[in-house]
Structure 1
């Protein structure tokens, strides 16, 4: 039983390490998305300023750029939502694994205490039998 518990604890520990690694990767991706969003937002704000003289070709190019940039920003926002959802799932799984590990540790402690009680009871019984035998001999 102890080997099974140890194997389960090891498995859960590995899963927890994988989750931590995935969380770090997601945080890195999230930071990258945040940076891209900030850059696109700055480009949109810079392109939104109207020049003193309006030239049709430049205005069309500017509007096309604004539309593409806003589409890119929306796509990045969707990716950010997906990353947040994945991050939430990982945190939920991490919480569940931590809870399972704590429960297993408590179970192991309880098993060890029971083993100690059994060992102590056996030793006490052997001691009592030895005393009874000594009295019978005397």
Structure 2
């Protein structure tokens, strides 16, 4: 019975080791496209796509395996002749709007676009009231 907590702790500590992938990185994950124009297009697109694992980084900056797979996918599709908009649309269709750092304006996202403007207007209104009181 005494060994059960020790085994549990050892299993919890070993979990990250099991989560590591033994697979090699995807082709194009860290290899650039030979055509500089297509590589620039792919890089620009990768900067605007969110890593699904890290969430706070773009797939261009992330070291996660999933981000490497997404970089490889973007580069292979761009190298095959697809446009950045087509690749973005495919990724959004597959992973949802959340994958993009540039959500479109829709009834679902309009509060995201309107909130900064509303906060600036509210701030100006409050500042105006504050300055009027000081003049008296």
TM normalised by structure 1 equals 0.30
Structure having the higher Rg? 1
TM normalised by structure 2 equals 0.30
If asked which structure has higher relative contact order (CA below 8 Å, sep 6+), I would say 1
Q: Which has the higher helix share?
A: 1
